[in-house]
Each structure stands twice: as C-alpha cells, then as structure tokens.
Amino acid sequence: MSKAIAPRARKVRILATLGPASNTPDMIETLFQAGADAFRINMSHGDQQSKVAVIAAIRSLEKKLGRPMTILADLQGPKLRVGKFEGGKTRLDHGATFVLDRSTAKGDATRVELPHREIFAAIEPGARLLLDDGKLVLRVTDHGLDRIETIVEVGGPLSDHKGLNVPDVVVPMAALTDKDRSDLAFALDQGVDWIALSFVQRPEDLWEARKLIGGKAALLAKIEKPAAIERLEELVEACDGVMVARGDLGVELPPEQVPPLQKRIVETARRQGRPVVVATQMLESMITSPSPTRAEVSDVATAVYDGADAIMLSAESAAGEWPVQSVAMMNAIGVSVEGDPMHGDRIHFTITRPDPTTADALAEAAKTIAKTVSAAAIICFTTSGSTARRIARERPSVPILVLTPKLETARRLGLLWGTHAVHTRDVDSFEEMVAKSKRTALRHGIAKAGDRVILMAGVPFRTPGSTNVLHVVRIVGDELKGYS
C-alpha cells in the first residue's frame, strides 16, 4: 500500500501566483512542497500559449503525487487607460486645468485622449479621476459627451497609457472584455478549476461569466471597486467565492478604509459560506528580500485570525527573487497563528448562523460533537462540494476530510479552509461509506487506531444536496487489512 500525502499542518490555504520566477515543473513542485495549496495563472501577463505548459505541469504534478491540484485563472478585466503624449510623457501641476477628450491627437500638459466612451456618459461634476495607480488626482468640474474638464488636485509626472480609476461613479462597462472572453474560453478548454473575474461592480457583471462558464469551473468575484462594496451581499450570493483585491481597492479608496472593508468582506463571505481569499502585497518586501517585514507578517496573521479561507502571493511567487521562501514564510505564519490557543476563539468572532436546513443543522452539530468527544476529524462524502462548504463555514477545530467521486469537485476544494479532498470511487451502501472513511483517514494520516471520527453524508447515495446523516465511529487497528 502506497502512503498517501498527509494534510497540511494548517487549515488556511495558500494561493501562489505563477510567473517567470516559478512556472517550471520543478519550481511548481517545490512550491507545493513548501506549502502552496493552489496556483493562480494571471491572464494579464503573457499570451495564452505560454500558459499551456504551466497548466500541463500542474496536472502532471497532480498525477505524480496523487493529489488534486487547484488552478485559478485570473481574467484581466477592463483596463481604463489614457492615450499618448508628445514625447511620451508630460507633467501635471497642482491647480492646473486638465482636459480628457475623444481626440486621438497626442496629449500635453493641458489635455489627453480618453478612449472610453462610457466614462463620458457616467461621470459627474465633483467626481475624482485617479491616474497611475492613484499617484495623480483630478477633480471633475464640467463634462460633455466628448470632453471632461478637471482641476489637478495632486500633480506629478504622467506618461503614455497610464491607468485610470473612476472610484466615485459606476461606469456601465461590461466586466468581460473581448480579451477576457477569449482567455475564459482558453482557460475552460485547459480545464482550470476557478475563474476570477476582475473589477466586478454589480451582480449583473457575474451573470455573463456564469453563463459562459456553464458549470465547467467555479466563479470567484474580485472585490476591488467601491461600487462593489455597496452591493456586497448580492455579489457574494451570486458567485462561488470572493477575493479581497486590496490593490485597486486601496487605489480607489483611502488606504485607511481598506482594513475594515477587508474584515467586512471576509465576514460576509464566511456568513454566506463562500471561500474568501485575501490578496495583494501580503509579503511585498519578499519580492527582493529573503525575509518579510514584521508589519507584513502581522498583516498575513490578521487574515488568518479573521478566518480567511486562503491567503495569496502575487509578485512574491510569480516574479520575485525568493518565491520558495515566500511560500514557506506564509506557511510558517499560518501554522504559528493556528497554533495560538486564542486562534479558535478569534475565528469565531464571525457568527455563522445555519440556514434552516438539515445539512446546515448537521454541519453545526458536527463541529460541536467533534469538540465534545475529541474527534480526530470530520469526514464527509460529497458530489458537488456543498457539504464540505457547510462544514468549513463552521470552522471546526479538527481537519475536514472530503471524499468525492468527482475530480473536478476535489480540485475546486483547494481554496476551502481546513479541507483535505480525496478523489475516490463512490459508495453504494452505508457500511461501505463507514469502511472507506476509516481506511482513508488512516491512509492519509488524519486519524489513527482508537480515534473517533465523525461522518457526514446523504442517503440515498449519489443524490446531490441530500446530506442527512451524521455518524460517529471509532477506528480500530485492523481497518487496512486486505487493502493495498
């Protein structure tokens, strides 16, 4: 009998972005061994063909290790940019008048092209326009169908095609660009597990992506626009998971507003039972340094204490000088925080009241019983993953072993707190379920002889959404006899 890979020593997941520093087969395996639970493919950089080998390497590692691997494809989304300047750059002075218009002529210190018709119709006097990741701030004084007049409130150098943010109004732009539709079709064809949609503002932004995905992947909404905060509950309900994308959120809002919003987004996602990822600049200094700042360590720890499902590395693992060390450090922080005796109390500051369903009642009961009888694990059978999500929402004190006959489900659970998913054959009877649960728990090192485990499943079997059984069993020493 070959020994299966044991679950992580922590329950929070690590999502590592792959890029030039980490996209070879050997590096991907090294990152997994260092602690990466899922891999992010950023569709904003490089062409589609360059992603084929990366995805193939992840799937090859999955086969080699016998562990489901999670792949998230992050779509670029609509990027607002200004046009070109004479000489490639200019300077805007504080208090000066600056115009954005539809003319394709090269700009100067008084005007520049803005090739986005939607903004002219949506903008209002008094609204802010942020340039170059918020380094420059313009205030709108007047506007028409092809002209926006502004006063420069924060000046500075400005060059060709710098980004533009419009934080104060909802711009009626489709969340999916032509590039996104092409990248989405490519990602689905490659068999990725999650699709991340950028710059979501309204639930309607998710509908087209949901339709195009057609159930082939889970949909994650990136919360990075002030307009998204206003409809947060609706957005979380309309997707399968959310990301606290603190980069653009911190550009369009004062930075001091981001921490409380992060907690609000995490809490909302947890209450609704959606996986939530905290992202951006978590270990930023490790792009060039082998060790993080103490403030960065505290930032990552805060996300773990708040009960986030996953914490993400961006450039640290994609393009930095220390990708393996970045993953190892994030792993070490997660292990340390979850080893704090106060961790269990802190993650339950968020109250997750169960819905009036049998499945939710059993998930809540499983958490309580596990603590009362000192169970080693909660084990669930699931086809869609919904039972695992219900249990994870309760943040039990023990690991969650998930058995599923669908490989796609096992892969998607790589972003879910506390879960260790195993792809296995389905069961036909209650007795077979009990026996398979015990064997799998032993093989994966989740339990040992003499331990109690809690089983959750739905009877009749192979009926999604029918969770109605909770069973406590004790593992004996000969469970693995006769199996190889």
Catalytic sites, residue numbers: 40, 81, 222, 280
Contacts of 281 (CB under 8 A, 6+ apart): 246, 247, 296, 314
DSSP state, residue 4: P
128-to-80, 86, 119, 151 alpha-carbon distances in Å: 14, 25, 12, 10
CB 461 within 8 A of CB 428: yes
Residue type, 10: R
412-to-68, 327, 453, 476 alpha-carbon distances in Å: 9, 20, 24, 32
Phi-psi region of 286 (alpha: psi -120 to 50; beta: other; left: phi over 0): alpha
Q: Interhelix angle for 48-65 vs 178-189, to 10°? A: 30
Query: Which of these, 384, 361, 401, lies nearest to 464 by C-alpha position?
Result: 384
Residue 339, class by beta-carbon neighbours within 10 Å (0-12 exposed, 13-18 middle, 19+ buried)?
exposed
Count how many residues are written for the chain.
484
- Residue 218 dihedral angles phi and psi, to the nearest 5°: -90, 150
Query: Which of these, 415, 440, 416, lies nearest to 427 by C-alpha position?
Result: 440
Cα–Cα distance, 252 to 235 (Å, whole number)? 19
CB 416 within 8 A of CB 388: yes
